[in-house]
């Protein structure tokens, strides 16, 4: 790194750290769900630690490597967790924390190992981080169409492009720098100048968008049913009534792969209005969750019916519009806290089935 860049390096990292800190503080004080706030703060803290320890002069000046390194080790895992919580509204479980925990453990192991043993461990960590970034991209893309939170939906494209570009460059530069101590890739890695510079611009841009709508991005609203409030405008009320009639009488939710555009045509409303109604008026944050509300209610009735005792769970799932058993099991468990098989056993025995949703 040239002398002029070495002078600018702490400034660039300081600006990036400030932007990350602003996101963490603002999110923590927002109305977002607690688990979303915790994940965001942990991710921001890990990014801050990574920025500091990757700079030799900065980390040497504050002498905190021993404390900050463990916080920086799981940054790729925490990034993945942040993405699935933000874009999929996923609950934070031990399984969801596993990637971050494994990266933390492997980082500590690599730091304690000899240079010969450490190098392949660091490389394996880099590759694991790349896989996590790739899956995060898949998460962003697959939920794009069904995302009912408009600000979050608009964020997916820029977030995906920026993430993919930064992850690809950083991974390549990091591995190259680990095996070759000379070359232009050094300036692109986290220990160089242009890597943190690119991250600074990414974080500043993300902070500007994220902070303007952080409560809506995470949100805490839950489905409240199909009854519109007294203050709902006349047009909204009429469209909500048409939606209710279509969903209850026509039961289009039984069709596999029912797109929101197709449902909008059946309701007779523009797709963007139907998205807003389902999100703003009914409290659903993604289209699949809206469909699942009908499908799970119907599944409960069939699973609790003694006449359907010989009907397999798979047949019920397919009849209700699921393309495979896995998504049905996950949706049912998320809604009731029990697997379909266990719920059916309790219902047929006359017990009160485990349920997070008594409706």
> What's residue 60's pLDDT?
57
Distance CA 315, CA 255 (A): 14
Across all residues in the chain, what is the average pLDDT? 82
Residue 35: exposure state from Cβ atoms within 10 A (0-12, 13-18, ≥19): middle
Q: Is pLDDT above 70 for 194?
A: no
CB neighbours (10 Å) of residue 275?
A: 21
Digit-coded pLDDT (tens) for 341-355: 999 999 988 755 654
Domain segments of the chain as ranges: 3-218, 234-348
234-348 CATH: 1.10.10.60
What pLDDT score does 280 carry?
Answer: 86
Over 70: is that where the pLDDT of 314 sits?
yes
User: Residues 244-297: pLDDT tens digits?
Assistant: 999 999 999 999 999 999 999 999 999 999 999 999 889 899 999 999 999 999
- For 36-81, the pLDDT digits (tens) are 889 999 999 998 888 888 766 655 566 556 678 899 999 999 999 9
The region of weakest confidence among 58-72, 151-165, 177-191, 199-213 is: 177-191
3-218 domain in CATH 3.40.50?
A: no
Instruction: Give 250-265 pLDDT, tens digit per residue.
Output: 999 999 999 999 999 9
């Amino acid at each position: 790194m040239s002398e002029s860049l070495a002078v600018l390096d702490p400034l660039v990292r300081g600006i990036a750290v400030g932007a990350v800190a602003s996101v963490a503080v603002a999110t923590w004080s927002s109305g977002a769900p607690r688990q979303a706030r915790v994940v965001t703060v942990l991710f921001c803290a890990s990014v801050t630690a990574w920025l500091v320890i990757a700079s030799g002069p900065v980390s040497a000046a504050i002498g905190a490597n021993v404390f900050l390194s463990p916080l920086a080790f799981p940054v790729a895992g925490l990034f993945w967790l942040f993405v699935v919580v933000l874009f999929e509204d996923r609950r934070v479980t031990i399984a969801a924390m596993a990637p971050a925990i494994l990266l933390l453990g492997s980082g500590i192991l690599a730091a304690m190992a000899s240079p010969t043993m450490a190098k392949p461990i660091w490389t394996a960590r880099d590759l694991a981080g790349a896989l996590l970034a790739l899956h995060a991209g898949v998460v962003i893309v697959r939920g794009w169409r069904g995302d009912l939170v408009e600000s979050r939906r608009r964020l997916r494209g820029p977030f995906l492009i920026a993430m993919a570009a930064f992850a690809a460059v950083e991974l390549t530069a990091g591995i190259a720098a680990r095996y070759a101590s000379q070359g232009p890739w050094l300036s692109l890695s986290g220990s160089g100048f242009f890597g943190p510079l690119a991250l600074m611009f990414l974080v500043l841009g993300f902070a500007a968008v994220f902070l303007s709508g952080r409560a809506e991005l995470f949100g805490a609203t839950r489905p409240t049913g199909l009854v519109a409030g007294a203050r709902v405008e006349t047009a909204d009320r009429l469209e909500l009534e048409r939606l209710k009639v279509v969903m209850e009488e026509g039961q289009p939710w039984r069709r596999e792969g029912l797109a929101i555009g197709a449902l909008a045509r059946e309701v007779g409303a523009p797709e963007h209005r139907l998205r807003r109604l389902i999100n703003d008026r009914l409290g659903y944050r993604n289209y699949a969750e809206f469909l699942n509300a009908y499908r799970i209610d119907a599944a409960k009735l069939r699973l609790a019916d003694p006449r359907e005792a010989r009907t397999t769970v798979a047949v019920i799932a397919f009849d209700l519009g699921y393309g495979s058993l896995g998504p049905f099991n996950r949706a049912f468990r998320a809604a009731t806290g029990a697997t379909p098989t266990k719920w059916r056993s309790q219902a047929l025995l006359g017990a009160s089935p485990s349920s997070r949703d008594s409706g």
